[in-house]
């Protein structure tokens, strides 16, 4: 498993071959990206078996929809990470119906994604731009977006975590996302 992100051209080529049904290329794609995406799944699911299930669903979806990747959707790794995140959120929403509320709150106080360490971890140019725009939002708006992205929280869960009314959280999200978009488009 590689530690530095694999080159976009390499992954795009493997995705194109996967689109033709090339299983060997798909396996190489998995080997190049699995560790990066497992970290994403693990952060949201917070449990290994659940993260593995999400990974299986996500890679099957990547196999099925490889022909729909195009460069305007972002880098291959970002496109694949989005698929993993979406499968993770789906799994969380299905599961949470059965998990007691206080257990959820406890699990969610793991590493604070809004901390400074985050800014240091993001190295790439696009990441720095995004971070700069996030820093330009109000503290509450920024926290909503980061907690939601990293921990897969709903509006309600955010309200509990930030100890704010639901209506206020909705407003933070709406304004925060709007300002974020405007900042990125400058």
Partner 1 sequence: MTPEEREELERQAAEYALGTLPADERARFEARLAHDAAACKLVDAWDRRLSPLNEAHAPIAPPPTLWPRIARAIAPRALGAGRSPWSSLRLWRGLAGAGLAAALALALIVALLPREAALGPRYVALLADEAATPVFQVSLDAESGRLAARPLAPRAAGERVYELWLIAGDAAPRSLGVLSPDAATERALPAAIAAELAELAVLAVSLEPPGGSPTGQPSGPVILKGRLARIDG
Q: In the window 62-91, what residues touch partner 1 (CB under 8 A)?
A: 63-70, 73-75, 78-79, 81-82, 85, 89
Token reading at 38: 């497992």
Query: What's the CA gap between 173 and 56, in Å, rounded?
Result: 31
Vertex 23: Cα angle to 18 and 29 (nearest 5): 60
Whichever of 2 and 10 has its CB closer to partner 1, that residue is 2
Question: Is residue 145 within 8 Å of 184, Cβ to Cβ?
Answer: no
Which of 155, 164, 171, 179 is the binder for partner 1 (CB under 8 A)?
A: 155
Local structure of 60: helix, strand or coil = helix
H or E element that contains 166: helix 166-184
Contact of 142 with 176, CB cutoff 8 Å: yes
Angle (CA) 69 76 92, round 5°: 90
Q: Is 1 in the site for partner 1 (CB under 8 A)?
A: yes
What is the length of the chain?
A: 186
For partner 1, give the closer residue by CB, 22 or 108. 22
CB of 102 to partner 1, least distance (A): 20
Residue 102 or 116 with smaller CB distance to partner 1: 116
Residue 181 binding partner 1, by CB under 8 A: yes
Q: Kindly write out the interface string for residues 108-127 of this chain, putting x where it contacts partner 1 by CB under 8 A and - elsewhere.
A: -----x----x--xxxx-xx
Residues that contact partner 1, how many (by CB under 8 A): 79
Residues 10-39 contacting partner 1, CB under 8 A: 12, 16-17, 19-27, 30, 34-36, 38-39
Residue from 59, 76, 143, 161 touching partner 1 (CB under 8 A): that is 59
């Amino acid at each position: 498993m590689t530690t530095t992100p694999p080159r976009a051209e390499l992954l795009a080529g493997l995705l194109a071959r996967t689109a033709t049904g090339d299983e060997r290329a798909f396996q190489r794609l998995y080997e190049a990206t699995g560790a990066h995406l497992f970290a994403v799944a693990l952060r949201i699911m917070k449990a290994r078996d659940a993260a593995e299930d999400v990974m299986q669903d996500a890679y099957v979806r990547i196999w099925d929809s490889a022909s729909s990747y195009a460069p305007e959707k972002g880098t291959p790794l970002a496109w694949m990470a989005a698929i993993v995140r979406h499968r993770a959120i789906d799994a969380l929403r299905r599961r949470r119906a059965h998990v007691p509320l206080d257990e959820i709150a406890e699990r969610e106080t793991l590493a604070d994604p809004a901390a400074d360490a985050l800014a240091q971890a993001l190295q790439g140019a696009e990441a720095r731009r995004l971070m700069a725009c996030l820093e330009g939002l109000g503290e509450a708006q920024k926290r909503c977006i980061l907690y939601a992205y990293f921990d897969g929280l709903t509006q309600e869960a955010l309200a509990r975590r930030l100890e704010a009314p639901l209506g206020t959280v909705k407003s933070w999200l709406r304004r925060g996302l709007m300002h974020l978009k405007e900042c990125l488009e400058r």
